Amino acid sequence: MSSNIESIEASVAEARAKSAERKIKFEQSFDLAVNFRKKELDITKPENRFNQELVLPNALYPPPKICAFGDGEFAEAAVAAGAERIVSKDEIPRLGDEKKERKNLAKNFDFFIAAVDAMPLIGRYLGQALGSRGKMPRPFPPQADLTTIVNQYHRTVRIRMRNTPTFHVKVGHVKMSDREITDNIVAVLNLVESKGFTGRISNVAIKTTMGPTIKVSI
C-alpha cells in the first residue's frame, strides 16, 4: 500500500477540508470504511470475517477507555497506568446480577484487562455481556507492565465485520495530522492485504463524524 500514501493523505486532507466547510461545533473523529464485493467475500464463513484487534502506529484521541478487573497491586498498577475504572473481584458478581449495569459497562469501555485470578469470575458473571461484543479481557500476571499494555491499547482499534461485507473503524481525530491519520489507514489496509482480501475490495472511504464521504484511492 506504500505507493498510495500520497493519494490516501490527499483524501484525508479533502475530508478535513470538506468537514471544515460545514462549521461543525465539536471536534470530530476520522472513520474509515472498507467495503468488499459481496459476491467475492462469503461472510457466512468465519474465516472471511474480520474480528480482531489492530495496534495502529499513532495513538487515537481521545484514547480508548480501559477498565481493569483485579485487586491489590494489580489494581494499583492499573490506576497508575491510566485505566479509567477498576472493578474488584468482589464487585464482579454484583455486576453480573445487574443487567443494566453490566450492559453499560460493556458498552462504555473499549478494552478490558484483568488479573489472572479474576478471569473465572468474569467468565461466569460477565462472559455473555463482554463476549457478545468481542470484549473479553486479556488476563495478565501480577508482574505485568500495565503501563506499556495500556499505552498499546491507546493505539488499538477493534476491527469487526458483522452481517455485511464491510467494516468501519476509527483511524484518527481532527487534532491529529493528516500524515498520522494516513499512517493509521495504511496499517488497516495492510491488515486487509495480509489476509489476501485486497483484490476483493469494492471501495474504501474516509469521513469525519459529520462530514461527507471521500473515496480513498488504493
Q: Cite the residue boundaries of each domain of the chain with CATH code 3.30.190.20.
A: 2-60+157-216
Q: How far apart are CA 170 and CA 218, in angstroms?
A: 18
pLDDT, residue 42, reads 83
What pLDDT, on the 0 to 100 scale, is given for residue 35? Answer: 94
- The mean of the pLDDT values for the chain is 92
Task: Write out the residue limits of the CATH 3.40.50.790 domain(s) in the chain.
Answer: 66-153
CB 81 within 8 A of CB 150: yes
- Residues 50, 161: Cα–Cα separation, whole Å: 5
How far is CA 47 from each of CA 19, 41, 43, 126, rounded to the nearest angstrom?
Answer: 36, 10, 8, 26
For domain 2-60+157-216, give its CATH number from 3.30.190.20, 3.20.20.210, 3.30.365.10, 2.60.40.1180: 3.30.190.20
pLDDT tens-digit map of 126-179: 999 999 888 999 999 988 999 999 999 999 999 988 889 999 999 999 999 999
Q: Regarding the domain delimited by 66-153, which CATH topology (the fold level of the hierarchy) does it fall under?
A: Rossmann fold (3.40.50)
Q: What is the pLDDT of residue 2?
A: 46
